[in-house]
Structure 1
Amino acid sequence: MPRPSRRDDVRTTAARIFREHGYLAATMDLIAEEVGLNKGTLYHYYPAKSAILYELLSEQVDTTLELLARVPLTGSGYDRMRLFVREQVALVATKQDELVVFFQEVPWIDQRLPAEQARSIRQRIYRYEESVKALLAEGSRTGEFREVTPSTILYSIIGLLAYLPSWYRRPTNARGDGPLIEEVTAFVMNGIRAPEAAPEAPAAGKGGGVALTARGPRATTR
Structure 2
Amino acid sequence: MNDVRIVSSTPSFSTRTERRHALAKADFVDAAYAVIEQHGFKGFTLDLVASHVGLRKQAIYHYFPSKEAVLFEVALAELTRSAQAVADAVDKVESGVDAIEALLRTYFHAFAGKIRLFQISHTALPFFDFKRMMSGDNLVRIRPLNDLLYAGAAQRLHADSKGTLSLADARRLAFVAYTSVVGLLTMKALVESADDPLVHQDTAMIDTLVSVFRNSIAQGNKKK
Provide TM-score, normalisation by structure 1.
0.58
Tell me the residue number matched to 1:65. 83
Shift in CA distance, 67/132, structure 1 to aligned 2, threshold 3 Å: same
User: Residue 71 of structure 2 is aligned with which of 46, 50, 53?
Assistant: 53
Aligned pairs for 1:1-222 (under 5 A) are 8-14=30-36, 19-20=41-42, 28-29=46-47, 31-32=49-50, 37-43=55-61, 46=64, 48-70=66-88, 71-72=90-91, 74-107=93-126, 109-112=130-133, 115-121=136-142, 123-128=143-148, 130-131=150-151, 134=154, 137-138=157-158, 141=161, 150=173, 151-168=175-192, 180=202, 182-194=203-215
Which amino acid is 2:215 matched to? A
For 2:91 and 2:138, the matched residues in 1 are separated by: 30
> Aligned-pair distance for 1:184?
2.6
Where does structure 2 lack aligned partners over 5 or more consecutive residues?
Answer: 1-26, 163-168, 194-200, 220-224
For 1:183 and 1:110, the matched residues in 2 are separated by: 37
Which amino acid is 1:131 matched to? A
Shift in CA distance, 27/115, structure 1 to aligned 2, threshold 3 Å: farther
Shift in CA distance, 124/57, structure 1 to aligned 2, threshold 3 Å: farther
Does the 8 A contact of 1:109 with 1:118 survive in 2?
no
Per-residue Cα deviation, 1:16-48 (whole angstroms, up to 9, x for no partner): 667226xxxx65346546887522454466553
For 2:38 and 2:48, the matched residues in 1 are separated by: 11
For 1:93 and 1:32, the matched residues in 2 are separated by: 28
Does the 8 A contact of 2:32 with 2:49 survive in 1?
yes
Does the 8 A contact of 1:9 with 1:35 survive in 2?
yes
Which amino acid is 1:156 matched to? S
How many residues matched?
174
Where does structure 1 lack aligned partners over 5 or more consecutive residues?
Answer: 170-178, 198-222
Shift in CA distance, 7/192, structure 1 to aligned 2, threshold 3 Å: closer
For 2:137 and 2:91, the matched residues in 1 are separated by: 32
Which amino acid is 1:19 matched to? F
Q: Which has the higher helix share?
A: 2
Shift in CA distance, 152/68, structure 1 to aligned 2, threshold 3 Å: closer
Larger radius of gyration: 1
Secondary structure class of the residue paired with 2:94: coil
For 2:132 and 2:40, the matched residues in 1 are separated by: 15
What's the RMSD between the two structures over aligned residues?
4.0
Tell me the residue number matched to 1:212. none
For 1:166 and 1:126, the matched residues in 2 are separated by: 25
> Aligned-pair distance for 1:167?
3.0
Which amino acid is 1:93 matched to? A
Per-residue Cα deviation, 1:86-125 (whole angstroms, up to 9, x for no partner): 221211112221110111245553223662113322x134
Provide TM-score, normalisation by structure 2.
0.58
> Aligned-pair distance for 1:194?
2.8
Per-residue Cα deviation, 1:182-210 (whole angstroms, up to 9, x for no partner): 3232111111123789xxxxxxxxxxxxx
